[in-house]
Amino acid sequence: MSVVCVIGGGPAGMMTAAVAAARGKKVVLTEKNNMLGKKLLITGKGRCNITNNADIEEFFKNVPRNSNFLYSAFYSFTNADLIRLLNKLGLETKVERGGRIFPVSDKSKDVLNALKKLLAKNGVVLYNSEVADILSEDGKKRVIFADKKSLLCDKVVIATGGVSYPSTGSTGDGYKFAQKFGHTVIPPKPSLVPLETKENVYPMMGLSLKNVVLSVYDGKKEIFSEMGEMLFTHYGISGPLVLSASSHIKPDRVSECKVFIDLKPALDEKTLDKRILRDFDEFKNKDFVNSLSKLLPQKMIAPVAEKSGIFEHKKVNEITKNERKNLVSAIKRFPLNIKDFRPVSEAIVTSGGVCVKEINPSTMESKLESGLFFAGEVIDVDAYTGGYNLQIAFSTGYLAGKNV
């Protein structure tokens, strides 16, 4: 019986192991953490955005680089295939805004439990140890573990992830193993990552904004604009919108980029001005800062007032038409200057990894070393937010499992 060692117990590794075992291979899945799927548990704020219900062609549009590499993977194991499999395992799913698919329970642990059930059903052997080295030995591979034990196997699959969230075990081990066999590793960079701002946003810390439009400009060129949810932090901005935006920003241009937040996208400037006039009429003898309480979240009032250039304690009935125009502008285009990405360790996903030119896209096998395969984030492919990155993990894992 052919022996396969899968290194890494994340979604890509679990899928690879389950599919290979279903084909009659003896599969050992190794994981250095004390549990499988540690990073999976924190995806989607602990709810796990499994995939997206978009058609497959839309998936390619959401992979900014090397999307052609994923052609066989995406078509061999589609989003529909994934949902069918999880449903069979007893996991119910639902579709939310933007086509994002979540478990009905809103618990990522239920997704993990479904995958663990599949591993057990297919007879995958779990081994809890860090891999120290991989050696070539008489046409086979010997996997050396940190506990000094070893496993001689026919095929090895590296599914160790990137370097985001190192506390979950993603510490770039796979890059080291790939390089040992002559592979090129594109240096990892943060892909879906929070952003630091030049401005002090500490007063807004903890404020979550929903249904706002975030636009990013590199110089005068708009490079991103979407509606959704974002969050102010002690260092800058985060949340789904910001993470998506970050993947459109070139690392060498990050400090040249500027963000504009439309706090009231449902209202055009004329309608917003009428709304402000109504509020002003109600608060005409009050200080300006007190007139915005019905329009904006409490923590946004002072920053918007400051950007508008209107003195906070100016009486509402003294505000000029021109000042009101500045207020509308501050609400529709609240500006922030980007300073930098947060560290790669805080990224949801890293771009970079094993060069796709050196991997067979139809099998996930190395073009340089027979019997060596790759799956998931260790490969130089990444996508925008919305469930696309997990689908990459599952689809490449499936393809590797089918071909080991």
Q: How far apart are CA 324 and CA 125, in angstroms?
A: 68
Q: Which two tokens stand for residue 198?
A: 């030049």
What pLDDT shows up at residue 189? 83
For residue range 211-226, list pLDDT tens digits in order: 999 999 999 999 999 9
Q: Quick check: 145 pLDDT over 90?
A: yes
178 in the same domain as 47: yes
How does strand 372-374 pair with strand 155-158? Answer: parallel
**Range with lowest mean pLDDT among 66-80, 86-100, 309-323, 337-351:** 337-351
- Amino acid identity of residue 350, one-letter, is T
388 in the same domain as 328: no
95 in the same domain as 65: yes
163 in the same domain as 95: yes
Q: Answer yes or no: are the C-beta atoms of 39 and 166 closer than 8 Å.
A: no
Q: Quick check: 136 pLDDT over 90?
A: yes
Which helix (H) or strand (E) covers residue 368, if one does?
none
Q: Look up the CATH number of the domain holding residue 255.
A: 1.10.8.50
Q: Which two tokens stand for residue 338?
A: 């980007």
**Helices assigned H by DSSP within 265-338:** 269-282, 298-308, 321-332
Q: How far apart are CA 364 and CA 368, in angstroms?
A: 12
Q: Which of 380, 370, 379 is nearest to 404 (CA)?
A: 370
Which helix (H) or strand (E) covers residue 228, if one does?
strand 221-232
Buried b (16+ CB within 10 A) or exposed e, 163-173: bbbeebbbbbb
Kindly calculate the radius of gyration of the chain based on its CA atoms and give it in whole angstroms.
Answer: 25
Q: How far apart are CA 135 and CA 49, in angstroms?
A: 37
Identify the band that residue 163 occupies on the pLDDT scale cut at 50, 70 and 90: confident
Last residue of a domain, one of 341, 367, 384: 341
Instruction: Give the predicted TM-score (pTM) of the model.
Output: 0.84
Provide the β-strand partners of residue 157: 6, 373
Q: How far apart are the first and last CA of the chain?
A: 12
Q: Which of 201, 137, 189, 151 is nearest to 338 (CA)?
A: 201
375 in the same domain as 330: no
Q: Quick check: 110 pLDDT over 80?
A: yes
118 in the same domain as 74: yes
Q: What is the mean pLDDT of residues 29-38?
A: 93
**Which residues contact residue 335 at a Cβ distance below 8 angstroms, ignoring those fewer than 6 apart?**
258, 259, 260, 307
Where is pLDDT greater, at 72 or 46? 72
Q: What is the mean pLDDT of residues 160-172?
A: 68
Q: Identify the domain containing residue 214 by its residue range.
A: 194-341
213 in the same domain as 96: no
358 in the same domain as 216: no
What pLDDT shows up at residue 344? 81
Which helix (H) or strand (E) covers residue 68, if one does?
none
78 in the same domain as 180: yes
Percent of the chain with pLDDT over 70: 98
Query: Based on the structure, what is the number of domains in the chain?
Result: 2
**Which residues contact residue 205 at a Cβ distance below 8 angstroms, ignoring those fewer than 6 apart?**
232, 233, 234
Q: How far apart are CA 14 and CA 381, in angstroms?
A: 19
168 in the same domain as 90: yes
Q: Answer yes or no: are the C-beta atoms of 311 and 167 closer than 8 Å.
A: no
Identify the band that residue 347 occupies on the pLDDT scale cut at 50, 70 and 90: confident
Q: Quick check: 169 pLDDT over 60?
A: no
Q: Look up the CATH number of the domain holding residue 180.
A: 3.50.50.60
Long-range contacts, stretch 87-95, CB < 8 angstroms, 24+ apart: 89/114, 89/115, 89/117, 89/118, 90/114, 90/117, 93/50, 95/53
Residues 57, 59, 65, 69: is their CA dihedral positive or negative? Answer: negative
Q: How far apart are CA 247 and CA 335, in angstroms?
A: 19
**Which residues contact residue 235 at a Cβ distance below 8 angstroms, ignoring those fewer than 6 apart?**
194, 196, 197, 342
350 in the same domain as 238: no
Angle (CA) 45 51 57, round 5°: 140
290 in the same domain as 174: no
